[in-house]
Amino acid sequence: MVSRRFVVASDSHGDEVDPQTESALFSFIADFKPQIRIHAGDAWDFRNLRRGASDDEKAHSLEADWSAGSDFLRRFFDGGKENHFLRGNHDERLWRFAESATGLLRDYAHDGIARVEKIAAKARARMLPYDSRLGVLRLGHLKVIHGYAAGIGAARKHAIVYRNCLFGHTHNTDVAACETDEGIAEARGIGACCKLDMGYNAHQTGKLRHQNAFCYGLLFNDGTYQLNQAKKIDGRFYVASDFRAL
């Protein structure tokens, strides 16, 4: 059966990217040469644009975050035939501030949006908003979303709402299956490309479930797919960059 190769990575979070995951992902892409490439959101961290950001966070310059996030996206999409960027809740902060009552913030947000749009256009990447209806990418019978539920029930919630899907957002690789009139539906957390220990989550137990990982596979012409996931094991990734049909 005719197939195309795809890769899905998520939550690289600008300058909070995990160097081991980043280098493993790009080395895998160089071998696997996926035609379809999906970044499932939070390409930037934009920590000082968070609602309720501390004075310390607000004092940070965003330039390192901008440059790391932009470089990651450029490299990720370079060589792809069909590129998609799903904005995550962190990326979406720019769009939210574009409506701000504060002129300075509004101007910054508009400049930022133009910057992101330019990167997407240059990479010929279709960009989807962080929106539970409009931010859903269909990859045959599989959907890819940034993620609209968090906590321990997130995978199950996504399986019920979106059926077969890959989601980012939670930074973990939880899997949940649910029964449907068409058989089993499975939701799988993609895992994150960012560091697992960050300033904001030092006291959160939820981060103990976070995992560095990415997904890839084959999409067949009839919409069915073979899905694989590479997870960091003791600082390394073990990937299968070729498939054999038996």
Nearest distance in Å: CB 172, Fe ion = 11
Q: In what order do the strands lie in the sheet with 125-128?
A: 125-128, 82-86, 36-39, 3-9, 213-220, 225-231
Window 177 to 216, contacts with Fe ion (CB under 5 A): none
Q: Which is nearer to Fe ion, 5 or 232 (CB)?
A: 232
What Rg, from alpha-carbon coordinates, does the chain have? 18
* φ and ψ of 133, to 5 deg: -105, -45
Amino acid letter, 222? D
Q: Which is nearer to Fe ion, 193 or 219 (CB)?
A: 193
Q: Which is nearer to Fe ion, 83 or 89 (CB)?
A: 89
- Quick one: which segment of 4-12, 77-85, 115-123, 217-225 binds Fe ion (CB under 5 A)? 4-12
DSSP 3-state assignment of 16? helix
Q: Which is nearer to Fe ion, 154 or 218 (CB)?
A: 154
Q: How far out from the chain centre does Cα 4 lie?
A: 20
Of the residues 3, 5, 8, 11, which one makes contact with Fe ion according to CB under 5 A: 11
What are 21's two structure tokens?
Answer: 């995951």
Question: What distance separates the 2 farthest-apart alpha carbons in the chain?
Answer: 61
Nearest distance in Å: CB 103, Fe ion = 29
Per rule CB under 5 A, is residue 42 in the interface with Fe ion?
yes
Q: Which is nearer to Fe ion, 178 or 196 (CB)?
A: 196
Q: Which is nearer to Fe ion, 41 or 219 (CB)?
A: 41
- Quick one: which segment of 38-46, 122-130, 206-214, 234-242 binds Fe ion (CB under 5 A)? 38-46
Please count the residues of this chain forming the interface with Fe ion, following the rule CB under 5 A: 2
Q: In what order do the strands lie in the sheet with 137-139?
A: 137-139, 142-145, 165-167, 183-189, 175-180
Nearest distance in Å: CB 42, Fe ion = 4
Nearest distance in Å: CB 90, Fe ion = 6
- Quick one: which segment of 5-13, 45-53, 97-105, 147-155 binds Fe ion (CB under 5 A)? 5-13
Nearest distance in Å: CB 180, Fe ion = 28
Helix or strand run (H / E) with residue 220:
strand 213-220
Helix or strand run (H / E) with residue 180:
strand 175-180
Nearest distance in Å: CB 224, Fe ion = 29
CA nearest neighbour of 165 among 38, 59, 57? 38
- For binding to Fe ion (CB under 5 A), which residues are involved? 11, 42
